[in-house]
Amino acid sequence: MASLYERLGGEAAVNVAVERFYRRMLGDERVADYFDGVDMDRQMAKQKAFLTMVFGGPANYSGKDMRAAHAHLVTRGLNDGHVDAVIEHLGGVLKELGAADADIAEVAAIANSVRDHVLSR
């Protein structure tokens, strides 16, 4: 059976999803501040890394990496509510792109599995 990443459409799907996801994040005042960098290209690259990871694609992140990537955000107050918002937008984008409910749930589960690392717990 195809992997989750392949079922969702692989790299092509990531490329389509990444703009929509980023637009949602920038447009949501709960989380937008954390993405407030002028360098949109770099931010897009991070969004792509994020999506590749939660789609279960080829990226080798460890919990240590996730801690390091978000540690400076935790000092700025990153909490469970923000992770919930991210997962909500992720689900929204996947639904728009026609993903199956079971796959959406699996993506959410992957995102949830690194919650403690992201929040430095």
**Which residues form the interface with ligand HEM (CB under 6 A)?**
31, 34-35, 46, 49-50, 53-54, 61, 69-70, 73, 78, 82-83, 86-87, 111, 114, 118
Contact 22, 51 (CB under 8 A): no
Contact 103, 94 (CB under 8 A): yes
Decide: is 30 part of the binding site for other proteins (CB under 8 A). no
Decide: is 110 part of the binding site for other proteins (CB under 8 A). no
Binding at 23: pick from other proteins, ligand HEM, none (beta carbon under 5-8 Å per type): other proteins
Tell me whether residue 7 or residue 46 sits nearer to ligand HEM (CB atom): 46
CA dihedral sign, ordered 6, 7, 12, 14: negative
Decide: is 38 part of the binding site for other proteins (CB under 8 A). yes
Which one among 52, 90, 93, 117 touches other proteins, defined by CB under 8 A? Answer: 52
Residue 89 CB contacts under 8 Å (≥ 6 apart), including other chains = 21, 24, 25, 28
Binding at 48: pick from other proteins, ligand HEM, none (beta carbon under 5-8 Å per type): other proteins
Q: Residue 51 has which token pair?
A: 């999506």
Taking the C-alpha atoms of residue 25 and residue 93, their distance in angstroms, rounded to an integer, is: 11
